[in-house]
Structure formats: structure tokens, C-alpha cells
Amino acid sequence: MARTSLRTSRMLTILLAGTLAVGLLVFWKNSKKQTAPLDAAHAPVTLVKAPGTAKPDDALPVMAAVTAQPVTMSPTTKPIEAPMTPTTQKSTQLPTMSATAVTGGKTGTHSNGNAAIAAPASTGDVFADAKIKLEAGEMLNARKLLNDALLSGKLSAAQIDQAKQQLGSINDEVILSAHKFANDNYAETYVVKSGDRITKIAMKHEITPELLMRMNGIKDARKLRADQPLKIVNGPFNAVVTKSAYTLDLYIGPPGEPGSMFVKQYKVALGRDDSTPPGTWMVETGKKQTNPKFWGSGPDHPPMEADDPQNPLGEYWIGLVGTDGSAVDKHGYGIHGTIDPSSIGKQASLGCIRLKNEDVAIVYELLVEGKSTVLVKP
């Protein structure tokens, strides 16, 4: 009996131990299942819950599924951009800078004609490239681009007019003002020596004393001092008159040839009945005058004194002598001002080349006696 009871106790103990072991095994498996990390590769791409079925403990698996699943963007998908606040947004537009702005509105030397901002690469459009360089303060580079394009002979008529207009504006600053530009191929700095005079320096560089004084802001030639640095443009300047367009173009060097520089264009009036002879002319030595007397031309045009308000020559006279073509050996013709600015752009003179008074004042300062030529072409 006692032996039977002992067997029964052992069997119950074994059964109890087995049950306990099975329970522990089930508990361990359930615990592993609850704590195992979610496999991103098998996570559902989208989790859709019907309204009202969401539970607080759904947040973690949904977040895990969304972050683990790689995102594929279709061509129409746009990335989300964070808004740029006013404090972080910056303009990339280059400022517009003239040469005056570079020097602070004062006479000064431009180190190289270039601003510190690097200009973008060439656009292939000469006018767009010139504009970029002007906005970056690179006046000399802009001038070279436009002048090279003009001399290339590849521009249309409208582009030629545009290039000449822009070059004229640049040269008002580079040549005709007192601002100094380093690295200008057409200019240099001259240091005054003891005994120098304005006329002597100007003659050496084939320009007029008046232009030399203008470029250096000199009001009184007698006040030139030793060791004074002067801005010098190397001449001579020459002109081309196009009769069909009623224009006078100024150049440094032989007009239109390699190495020459277009300077500026002015509108003119010419002789009535096509009476301005074509050909090549030279500015005649000793024939440039300010406030000139009109010596008359026949009974219909009597002589007039210098200060006569009816004097048709205005305030300047540049006498010419013909050297080639239909102009050979002709005298008595010249470039002068007018008392009738409305005549500009017409055949209105007695054969001379007529400019507005403010324009002939500049031309007078640029053309040199015995050096400068004037080509008159159809």
C-alpha cells in the first residue's frame, strides 16, 4: 500500500513538473513574440483603420512601419521645402555699379577696372556679357567686348548702333572724365617733370592741351607742378562722317582697323544739295579757332563778326584740307557749331560739317591739327 502511494506521488510530481515546464515554455514564447522587433521588410506599407478602431498602443507600430518603409517619389512628387524666413533669404542679384560708384563719387584710380565680385561666365551674347561686366564694375572689360564686336564686322545695323551708343557712354567716363583707370591699353600715367608744359606733354602724346586739361581736372595750365601724375590718352583721334546716316564717329587710331577704339558718335548736318565732298581730310594746322569770325560766302552770306548772334559757325571752327578722293586740295571746309540746332540730321549747310554746339566743343578737344583725319564717306 505504502509502495502504491509512493508511486502515485512520484507520478503526480512528474506530471506537475511537466505541466509547469510546458507553461513556462508557452510563457517564454509569448514573451518573445511580444518583444521581438518589427521586421521592416515585412511591415505593412499602409495601415488603415476604420474610424473609432484605433487604440493608444497602435501609435508605435504605425510609426515604425512608416519610418522603416523606403519612400519612392514619382516624377510629379515634389519634396517638401522648409519656408525661408526673411533673415535667411538672400538676393543673388549683382548690384549695378558705375565707375563713379566704385570710387565713391570722387576722382580716383581704378585698380584694374574690375570689381571684387567675380562675373559669371560668358553667355555668348556680347551685349548681355557687357552688361554683366558693367554691373560688376568692369568698365574696361565691357568696353573691350563691345569694341571687339564692333570691329568684327559681324553685327547687324541695329546692333552696331547699340554697340556705339554703349561705348559712347563708357568712354564718357573712361576717356572724357578725370577718373583714372589702371590697365587701360589706350591710356597711361605721366609724371610731370621740371620744365614741362601742358602743350609739350599733349603734343608728345598726340592729343590737344584742352583734352589733357579736361582729363585731369586742370583749370589753369600755369599751375602744373613737378611730380604731378597726369592721366594721358594716347592719340591721335580720328573721325568718320557717314553722309547717309548724318553721323560723325570718333576713334582712337585708324578707324575700324585692328587696335583702334571707337569713342563716341554725334549727329551732324551736311551741305545742301549733297555739297559736302567725300574723301579724306586732314585737320589743317593753324585752322582751329574758338569764337570764329565768319568770312562770308557770296552776296547771300555776308561776313559776320565773332560775337554776332547770327554768325552761323557758333563757337568753334575746325578747318579741314582735302588729302584724298573728291576732297583733294579743297580748302575752306570745316567742322563747326550752329545757331540752328534743328538743322542737325539734314542737308542744311554750305558744305561744311555742322554739329550741335555742345557736341562740337568735345570734338574740338579731340581732333589735333596736322594729325587727326576726317574720312567723309557716302
**Is 366 in a helix, a strand, or coil?**
helix
- Spacing of C-alpha 289 from chain mean position: 38
Q: What is the DSSP string of 303-364?
A: -B-TT-TT-TTTTEEEEEEEEEGGGTT--SEEEE--S-GGGTTSEEESSSEE--HHHHHHHH
Residue 352: active-site member: yes
Q: What are phi and psi of 89, to 5 degrees?
A: -80, 130
Nearest Cα to 134, choosing from 91, 107, 174, 74?
174
As a whole number of angstroms, the distance between CA 250 and CA 238 comes to 6
Question: Which is the catalytic residue, given 110, 179, 205, 336?
Answer: 336
Q: What is the DSSP string of 124-168?
A: S-HHHHHHHHHHTT-HHHHHHHHHHHHHHT-S-HHHHHHHHHHHH
Question: Which is the catalytic residue, given 110, 179, 205, 352?
Answer: 352
- C-alpha grid cell, residue 194: 621740371
Q: Please identify which residue in the block is written with the cell numbers 548681355.
A: 128
Residue 336: active-site member: yes
As a whole number of angstroms, the distance between CA 31 and CA 235 comes to 100
**374 CB-near residues (< 8 Å, 6+ apart):** 238, 239, 240, 241, 280, 281, 282, 283, 320, 335, 353, 367
- Other C-beta atoms closer than 10 Å to the C-beta of 245 total 15
Cβ-contact 282, 321 below 8 angstroms: yes
The residues annotated with a catalytic role in the active site are 336, 352
